[in-house]
Amino acid sequence: MRATRRLDPRIRRHLRIRSKVSGTAERPRLSVHRTHKHITAQIVNDIEGRTLVTVTSTAKEILGLLGEDRSKLNRSKVVGRRIGELAKAKGIVKVVFDRGGYLYHGRIKALADAARQSGLSF
């Protein structure tokens, strides 16, 4: 019960954001989910209900790109860079950013900045 109350504010923020943010074919949604150890980013077309690109920090490919620094912040940067590369390969340049109710700082900001540097526009 206690854990539910702790997550309530984030879930309320997430629902408020999702009521305003939706991905289309022209501008899909870049959705971010964060856990204590890992981070996941996916690009979604909400009209068709399809996930176009997914990158997670648990993937062996990402662990290979990390090198010596395996900090959570560095994982976020690598995931952001990789999601931008995969999106550009699929022809996706413009997206709508959905921070998932998380505050825009730390790992969420690092992922967003890395995605912008790799070519995504939002």
Structural domains in the chain, sorted by start: 2-117 (3.30.420.100)
pLDDT digits 0-9 by tens, 3-52:
667 668 999 899 999 999 999 999 999 999 999 999 999 999 999 999 99
Distance between CA atoms of residues 109 and 73, nearest Å: 10
Which residue, 66, 91, 102, is CA-closest to 81?
66
Distance between CA atoms of residues 6 and 3, nearest Å: 5
pLDDT digits 0-9 by tens, 81-110:
999 999 999 999 999 999 999 999 999 999
3-class secondary-structure state, position 18: helix
pLDDT reported for residue 3:
60
pLDDT reported for residue 4:
66
pLDDT reported for residue 5:
73
Give the residue carrying structure tokens 């709508």: 96
pLDDT reported for residue 2:
58
